[in-house]
Structure 1
Amino acid sequence: MQRSPFEWLGVFFYNIIVLRKIVKIAFLSGIFLFALIVISGIIFFVRSFYGSDTLSVVKGNSMLPSFSDGEVVGWKRAKVDKAHLKRGEIVYLNSEETYKGDENATFLKRIVGLPGEEIALSSGYVYINNKLLIEDYLYRTGRTFGQSFLKDCQIFKIPEGEYFVMGDNRELSRDSRDIGPIKFKRIVGVAKDGPTYNQSKWISTQSASFKVPLFFNETHCREK
């Protein structure tokens, strides 16, 4: 059956409307796809640069009471920024010296000494740049004694780019007192989880009731 001019005109306009809808959908789909690609790229960049969350199982009790053996800990595998590393921060380390034969092993320790600082041990206490450091996160008595690398009454200056790390359970921990300071490149992440604590701090010289010497004296230390 032959269509009238009006019917052909209606079909023409209908096709134009359908075509416009198709173009609009394609345009919106293109914008959505482009936005999706951009967002995915941003997420990939951020995760690559700042790191992604990782779960690890704690081995041993060297970080008691903060972390115990078998505990699952979340940490950020990141390109760690030296400027953001602080004393008292718990970090994940990769150390061939500690786990020989397992280069991929990681372990938790706490930053105690920073690059360029002097560290010394006396009467079970830590001194940084000759000042007594109070660490209220330590296990049990919290006494810190020297080991094979850093002995009691010895002053050690931490090289630039290296960190002096220890476990919170000082009696059990094998740490920088044994193997020396850890190079920055061995810090592979920062622990996210863990108990809240009062960051390591300095005792005020006005604390007259505090019986431990507030300042390190190498001569007096060796005379004990």
Structure 2
Amino acid sequence: MRNKNHWDWLHVILIAFALAFVIRMYLFAPVLVDGESMVPTLQDEDRLIVNKFQYHVKTPERFDVIVFHATEGKDYIKRVIGLPGDHIVYQNDQLYINDMPVQEPFLDALKVLTDEPLTEDFIVQEVPAHHLFVLGDNRRISKDSRIIGPINEKAVVGEAQLVFWPFSSFHFTP
């Protein structure tokens, strides 16, 4: 009887580890923000939850905050600005996508702090098929698609959806 009880506990523990593994590998993962390229949306050392499953059933949308494999062993967190086929122009601190002006309300908190433009002018003739053009919200210091180029959709890990630590900063990403 006592031996059977040990096997029951062992089964419960093994099932718990298996569930944790599946959830971590395929559904959700914790990520640590390293740097200030997404300020004010995300702060350095924020801890957030990334939804890894979502992009298996749909494609990233404009302004999603995503985590992607930037280099071997290094993931970046940036905001999707351009989708495949988009023509992007940044002129006089105004974003134009396919010749239409686009508002970026997530930058408003930074714009009130300075009279200087947040984003230098640039033009992207066309975002390639199966690629995304991403920018950090803190445009002056962000290493993003302006430097590394458009990212392949296959490099996307998932969408950053929830800041859970520090608890005082608990929020869903806009």
- Cα deviation per residue 1:98-122 (whole Å; 9 max; x = unaligned)? xxxxx12112101011011111111
Partners of 1:53 and 1:75 within 8 A in 2 = yes
Runs of 4+ in 1 over 6 A off after TM superposition: none
1:42-61 matches, within 5 Å, as 47=22, 51-61=26-36
CA distance in 2, matches of 1:54, 1:135: 27
Partner of 1:172: 141
Q: Which has the larger radius of gyration?
A: 1
Distance 1:86 1:104, change over 3 A: same
Report the number of matched residues.
147
Q: Does 1:75 align with 2:50?
A: yes
Partners of 1:121 and 1:127 within 8 A in 2 = yes
CA distance in 1, matches of 2:64, 2:135: 11
Quote the offset at 1:197 in angstroms.
7.2
Quote the offset at 1:84 in angstroms.
3.5
Letter in 2 for 1:171: R
Partners of 1:51 and 1:79 within 8 A in 2 = no
TM-score, normalised by the number of residues in structure 2: 0.72
- Cα deviation per residue 1:150-208 (whole Å; 9 max; x = unaligned)? xx3x342001100000111111111011111100111011112154577xxxxxxxxxx
Question: Which one of the candidate residues 172, 184, 187 is aligned to 2:156?
Answer: 187
Task: Return 5+ residue gaps in structure 1 as ranges.
Answer: 1-39, 97-102, 147-151, 199-224
Task: Return 5+ residue gaps in structure 2 as ranges.
Answer: 1-14, 112-116, 164-170
Q: Does 1:116 align with 2:85?
A: yes
CA distance in 2, matches of 1:106, 1:197: 18
Q: Does 1:87 align with 2:59?
A: no
CA distance in 1, matches of 2:48, 2:39: 13
Across the aligned residues of Structure 1 and Structure 2, the Cα RMSD in angstroms comes to 2.9
- Higher RCO (CA < 8 A, seq sep 6+): 2
Distance 1:104 1:155, change over 3 A: closer
Report the identity percentage.
28
Quote the offset at 1:143 in angstroms.
2.6
Which structure is higher in strand share? 2
Partners of 1:164 and 1:181 within 8 A in 2 = yes
Partners of 1:161 and 1:183 within 8 A in 2 = yes
TM-score, normalised by the number of residues in structure 1: 0.57
Partners of 1:91 and 1:189 within 8 A in 2 = yes
Distance 1:115 1:82, change over 3 A: farther
Partner of 2:166: none
CA distance in 1, matches of 2:151, 2:31: 20
